[in-house]
Structure 1
């Protein structure tokens, strides 16, 4: 990893969660980055839980930093990565004269993240007896879900990439995966039960439910609850729930890579499928829509109502 002597601080920006365990995971991850990187590292959330982003920025600004590299701690470029975090950073520049920032891109899809997902799958299967552990397995990859088709398509892409080389008949042929299907826990379909039902009808006898989430939270808990409920109602299908990606060195590697990209100006966004640039069927009204961040209750200066520039209600549970 190349870090110039005058490299700006890394600002890790998360969405936030109402789950104390998830907030603690974020805090431990920021500490991990501090321990391995030479530039200063700060982290904050745009809403729902402390530490707030505005506090993290104020700390860096108070230490004399006038330029930061902000990396959104999100897996896909949905509304938070495309609008809310840049909007929050725009407000910080108003609050702190002379502040500027370079913006990194979302973390996924990335080969390291695929490898981490494979590790979580293997860990979920490890407690099973040896003979049972080797039986063919299907995977249901569950993302958060979004009203942005580009973000939902990214989850489908990750599912396909996870299948490639790991599926039965693929180049490695050692994993025994019979299928990898995507699903969502909110705002998009198929739902977790719908995804499990599809795999059951395709002939799966065992499914590993693999949450495509960084840290623990309300939604990952909901994924596990819905998966276990479905399994209880379909005893012929073995449903195994894996853990989230979590605080680990592999995830830190990806964030460090996104930081270096931001410094180099190598930011490759999904502009070809972005509803704010391209008139996709059913979303033409969003082209050119202003990226107005919604109300963030943890921001003491924000009291302008709860709404998005693209005009949909925004319910949060993480």
Structure 2
């Protein structure tokens, strides 16, 4: 029986020990739910937490792994951060020249992830989120981290649109904690204005309400800033109900999103399927979970020199 490629869950380096613990918890959850898949996790980029990605790769090699599929814990393309993962993998392969690897694109707002976000809204509201007439008076503010790259911010807007489609909310707006506009107070202002202008659904009873939904995988400083900004705005607008939802978190839902991305790679990349490939691995497309085109990042066959990176986006 052929051992499947190892799954390397790659987090961007953080100084927050809570984020590091969340990655370790996610690796544990994936391992429990999919014991047939060798899995580990490591950090890349600046200020890496433990374990570093190179150490995680070395551990896989010691277990006899020769093929690695890396899934980055990123929700949007973020330039230098995104590029740092294939660079880190290539550096690790200098010490393990027989290692073949492939790097997935960022996690997309596919059905699994969108369903998770919807459940976070429901949990914030309680049973009132389940009736169509109550959803019709609920506006969601999806809050991203914010980046200097428009493409990264556009991914948050895309997730908001997909979350709104067919779920009955009055609207889903976007805001960012830093580096991009609108900021959280401006986003809440917009939600309040839309809630006032909306005609409402037949049978909807009670005041309009806003759910602030973090588009974050794990907790950290940005989540604390978001909570402070939300609480400050809510205190200044006592006539509007404002609820705070939980972030996505490292539980079973995210574990299945990551494994889904891993399985897409294993099925679509010759390096990982074991099919024949040439001296240089070529870039190839995968299909995102929402039907939109996604890209596997860079992949390089072990034992044939260092393959060139192909930009995933």
Q: Which interval holds the TM-score relative to the shorter structure?
A: 0.7 to 0.9
Deviation at 1:210, TM superposition (A): 0.3
Q: Distance in 1 between matches of 2:130 and 2:61?
A: 55
Q: Does 1:43 align with 2:46?
A: no
Q: Does 1:82 align with 2:82?
A: yes
Corresponding residue of 2:21? 24
TM-score for the superposition, normalised by structure 2: 0.76
| SS class of match (1:90) | helix
Deviation at 1:148, TM superposition (A): 2.0
Corresponding residue of 2:177? 185
- 1:17–1:218 Cα contact (<8 Å) kept: no
Deviation at 1:128, TM superposition (A): 7.5
- 2:265–2:286 Cα contact (<8 Å) kept: no
Q: Distance in 1 between matches of 2:146 and 2:172?
A: 17
Corresponding residue of 1:110? 110
Deviation at 1:214, TM superposition (A): 1.1
Corresponding residue of 1:246? 249
Q: Deviations over 1:9-57 (max 9, x none)?
A: 1110011333332222221110011112212101011144222111111
Paired positions, count: 264
Deviation at 1:96, TM superposition (A): 2.4
RMSD: 2.9
Corresponding residue of 2:272? none
Q: Deviations over 1:246-266 (max 9, x none)?
A: 122222222111111111226
Q: Distance in 2 between matches of 1:104 and 1:130?
A: 35
TM-score for the superposition, normalised by structure 1: 0.75
Q: Distance in 1 between matches of 2:156 and 2:138?
A: 20
- 1:18–1:217 Cα contact (<8 Å) kept: no
Q: Distance in 2 between matches of 1:31 and 1:129?
A: 31
Corresponding residue of 2:215? 212
Q: Does 1:73 align with 2:70?
A: no
Deviation at 1:240, TM superposition (A): 0.9
Q: Distance in 2 between matches of 1:182 and 1:80?
A: 24
Deviation at 1:6, TM superposition (A): 2.5
Equivalent positions of 1:145-184 (< 5 A) are 145-167=146-168, 177-184=169-176
- 1:83–1:291 Cα contact (<8 Å) kept: no
Inter-CA distance 28–130: structure 2 relative to 1 (3 Å threshold) = closer
Inter-CA distance 239–17: structure 2 relative to 1 (3 Å threshold) = farther
- 1:102–1:263 Cα contact (<8 Å) kept: no
Q: Distance in 2 between matches of 1:234 and 1:203?
A: 13
Q: Deviations over 1:250-308 (max 9, x none)?
A: 2222211111111122644899999xxxxxxxxxxxxxxx999xxxxxxxxxxxxxxxx
Deviation at 1:245, TM superposition (A): 0.9
Range moving further from structure 2, 257-266 or 73-82: 73-82
